[in-house]
Structures are given as structure tokens and as C-alpha cells.
Amino acid sequence: MTTFSQSHIRITCEGPVAFMLLDRPEKHNALGDEDIDALVAACAVLEKADDVRVVILSGAGGKAFCSGGDIVGWGELSALDFGRQWLRRGHLAFDALARLRQPLIAVLNGHVFGGGLELAATADLRVMEDHARIGLPEAGLGVIPGWSGTQRTVRRFGSAVVKRMALFGEVLDAQGALAAGVVDRVVARGAGPDCAREIARQVCGRAPVATEMVKMLVNLAEGEESGRVAEVMAGICVGYTDDLQEGVTAFREKRQADFRGL
């Protein structure tokens, strides 16, 4: 069983399904400096968890999935540190989530603003409860959506709806988010986790290696990643060859390898 607890990020498991929880309800699950590092560490744990087939991401408290980056964490940074530390490290964390080998389902069980929407965009599927709202309010604070809010969100949702939120300050309700393609399911308040569990159950009934490969290929087509996918795919193919086994054996036995192209 995979478990993890660091800063305000928690992981527990129910069989092959891992639940990642943002556990900072008193701050509407805003992400602080230590939370960014914790997300990277949590992804590293999940990548190594052979027993985990699906990951479900949600926020604690029921009021907010994630309200974005904690303003206390970045509000007093110098311009250089804001870009070099806050934004760059945030990208490392969100890239790790988007590129998890397991399918990632986000349960938007509360309001989703700013970095919270950028976080939700890392998921492969989003379930939104009908009381939640979504928006990109950064320009109203004199800042930009800096955790791929103008990049991954556009690739996933299209530029029109991102412009509506980021440029014009539009806040979407659940049905508006569904119509715009920002979320995939809308359910009643409190029903998000059960809906995600049912979707996860369906995923667990599919071939795990094929599912992992399909996710990487879709990421490749979407521009999420390129070099890693090509090398992973090629490495897996080579890993099945007799030549690889011969090369490793020859190295251990300190002799010339006898490669046969098989």
C-alpha cells in the first residue's frame, strides 16, 4: 500500500487507486512553497508504485479544490525570485503531475481559481461538483497565470475559453465549464469522489501497460512531452530483445558480446 504525507499533500490508497489530497482547508487549499516541493515528491512515489493504477486528486474541506498559489508565498518575492523560484518550481511540480504514468482524475469538489485551474489542467479527466466555480483571476492581482495557465490550459481547453477567463475575468459555473470543455463530468455536491471511484474502477479493468502507453502517446500528440516518450517507447522495445540480455551478460562475464539482432 502506497502512503505519503508531506507538507499539506497526502496520499492514501484503496487497492489500485491512489487518492492525493490537498489538505489545507483553512487556506482554501492554496499551495505554499513547501507544497510545491511536496507535489514533486508525491509524484516520485506514485511513479514507483507498481500497485497503483489510477490517481484521484481532490481538495479537503468541500469549499475549494484549490485556490491557487498562496499569495503569502509569492507576494514579497523579488521579480527574479518570482520567476526563478516560484514559477519555475511550480512548473516542475505540475509537469510531474501531467506526466504521471497513471491516469489522473481531478475531483473539483470546490472552487477552482488561478493555480487551482492550472493544477486541474494536469489531470486527464475532471469531475466537477455543481456548486463549484472556475476562473483565472490573476490579471486582477497584477500577475499572470504562471503555472502553464496560458499554455497547458490552452492545449487542453482551447484558447477561446482561456481568454474569457484570463483576459475578461469570466468565472464559469459547473454547467458553463462542462459546455466549454473545461470539465468532463458534473455531479451533485459531495458526489465527486464516488463518481471518480467509478471511473477509476473502469480504468482498472483495462490493460495497464496499454493504458500507460496510450497516455504517453496522447501526451505526445498534445505537445505535453516529446523526447521522453520517444526514448521510453524505444527503451521498452529494446528491453524485450535477446541482444540486450546478451549485452548485459557479456559485460558481467567480461567477454565480447555476440549480438544476433534478435
Residue 138 annotated in active site: yes
Distances (CA, A) of 103 to 153, 176, 195: 18, 25, 15
For the chain, where are the E strands, in sequence order?
Answer: 4-6, 9-14, 17-22, 54-59, 64-66, 104-108, 111-113, 125-129, 133-135, 172-173, 185-187
Nine cell digits for residue 146? 504562471
CA distance 79 to 137: 20
CB atoms within 10 A of CB 7: 19
Q: 82 phi and psi, to 5 degrees? A: -60, -45
Residue 129 annotated in active site: no
Catalytic one among 76, 118, 198, 224?
A: 118
Catalytic one among 26, 138, 198, 212?
A: 138
- The burial class, CB within 10 Å (0-12 / 13-18 / 19+), for 41 is middle
Give catalytic residues, as residue numbers: 118, 138
